[in-house]
Structure 1
Amino acid sequence: MDLKNRILLLLTATVVAIGCQAAMASKKPPEPSMAKCVASARVWDITFKHELASFMGVSLDRVPAIFCQRIFEGVRTGRIGFSDVNAIQLSQPTEIWMVIKGKPKEPPVTHSLPPRSSRFRNCSGIDGSFQVPISQKCPLSGWANH
């Protein structure tokens, strides 16, 4: 079984466990589930732990705790959800890999307007912002006529 499939199984079990825990509306603190996750991760076979340690960039002895911590934090913050589990199964892009690696969430791409000029008007369009001469109005369609 390759690394992707193993992580998928672990992730599915973890997301389901955390989802069930959230549904219980905080009747139990999250520490017992984290302890269960770490305990189950300690019994993974050594080859898988080596692969995961290399992928995560941590030492072999820290893999169980860091893996569980990152997964729990990803679910808690909303970076990981059931849709991510489906995305892995369909070999689609997902942020799970960035969470497991410990990478921060990338900021959203923003389209900034070009600097104002007295000779041009800033307009927003379908493909982003653009400028038209000040004598013209911004087109309603969002397309610039050149």
Structure 2
Amino acid sequence: MSVTDDFEKTVRICDFYYARRMKGIRILTVRTSGPGWKHWDMKMWDVEDLVKRLGLTRHEYFANEWLVENQIPHRAVVSVQTLEEMVHMAETMEGVRAEYILAKKLYERIKYQLAKIGKDKRIRERDLERIFLGERSGKRAKGFSSLSQKRN
């Protein structure tokens, strides 16, 4: 079994397998300590080190990946997802990440406008909305027009 602590890597592997229409793949999230683990009886190999020792071409891709021999205790399994569920979750996360980037840009724009207006002056909600929508100059801020349409 191949394991990694790198979620982004897991998503890339899932995309790779999903694009090739592979079936029956499950992704486990596990706790690596607690009852049931037989650390003294397990064999675990660092893939990057193993590839190096075998004289094969090393790739950065092998970082943060291990091969585990023997079973993972049932009590250590936190969740199980199918390949399809994992791909859907990754797509959802991309949408959330895009919203976060948009919100961060908005925050920086408001922060800039507040600094421009001055710290002493109080800004009413309507003024803040104008800053948000970029209406002072008669132009809408790029990327924020969809937000104003949702409000109306």
Fold match (TM-score > 0.5): no
TM-score, normalization: structure 1? 0.29
Greater relative CO, 1 or 2 (CA 8 Å, sep 6+)? 2
Structure with the higher fraction of residues in strand conformation: 2
